Each structure stands twice: as structure tokens, then as C-alpha cells.
Amino acid sequence: MGQVFHSGAFLQQCWSVHPLCISVRRITAGNQLILACTSCRFAHHLRLGDVAVRTSASEQTEPSTGESDAQLPSNIRFAACLDAHAAALTLREMDVFEDRALIRCAECRRLYVLTVMAFETHQK
């Protein structure tokens, strides 16, 4: 079993060097978002706090097709998006000083602003 690093610096470095190699994998029962990097073979765990959803400008001008989706809590909307189209989710921005990560979905054109309570990097 590999080492576990309790710092966001490893994810910050991984994302800055090879951002296209990081993929969003899953959310665990413990409210951790798992990201994997195919280049450095690290698994990055983000323990989530709050989740905020931003929609694109084009979605705001179109008539709403699902009022029930907009009324769901943000963390449930994010989990549903991850279940529906995980391959379309990408890490767009992150800040270890503000404990924040932004995940964008190319499929539903939403931006998920994640408040991160703790960062962990697991070496495989």
C-alpha cells in the first residue's frame, strides 16, 4: 500500500503540470470526491463541504425543463451529474489557500464550486 499525503499541494502540482490527465471518478459514502491522475498515478481525495452550482448563461435564458432538478440540494445535483455523465466532468480550477475546487460538466454545462474540507493524495 502506498503513502497518503494530507496536503492539497500534491493535487495543485498534479493539476498544474498535467491537467488533462486528471479525471473525476466517484463520490464515496464518506462524502469524498475521488480524482485520479493517469500520469502520476495518484488518487486525490477531496472531503467535500458545501457544493454550489452555477449554470451557463445559455441555460439561464432557455425555458426550464425540470423544475424538480433546480430544487434539489446542490450536493445531490452534483452526485446525479457524476452518475449520469462522469466522463464529461473535469477539474477546471482549484485553490488550496481558499480550499476550493471547480468542476465543470461539459454535458449539462454546469460549474460545481466545491468547498474542500480536507485534501488527501494516495500513492498507488
Give the pLDDT confidence of 65-82 residue by residue, as tens digits.
Answer: 455 567 889 999 999 999
Residue 28 has what pLDDT?
A: 92
Query: pTM for the whole thing?
Result: 0.85
Residue 105: per-residue pLDDT = 96
Q: What is the DSSP letter of 64?
A: P
Determine the pLDDT at residue 68: 56
- The per-residue pLDDT for 57 is 58
Supply the pLDDT for residue 63.
45
What residues form DSSP beta bridges with 112?
53, 103
Alpha carbons 63 and 27: distance in angstroms, whole number = 30
Q: With H, G, I as helix, E, B as strand and everything else as coil, classify residue 62.
A: coil
> Distance between CA 117 and CA 62 in Å, rounded?
35
Q: Is the backbone of residue 69 left (phi > 0), alpha (psi -120 to 50) or beta? A: alpha
Q: Which residues of the chain have pLDDT under 70?
A: 1, 56-69
Return the C-alpha cell found at 92.
477546471
Placement of cell 493517469 in the chain: 38
Q: What is the pLDDT of residue 55?
A: 84
pLDDT of residue 72: 86
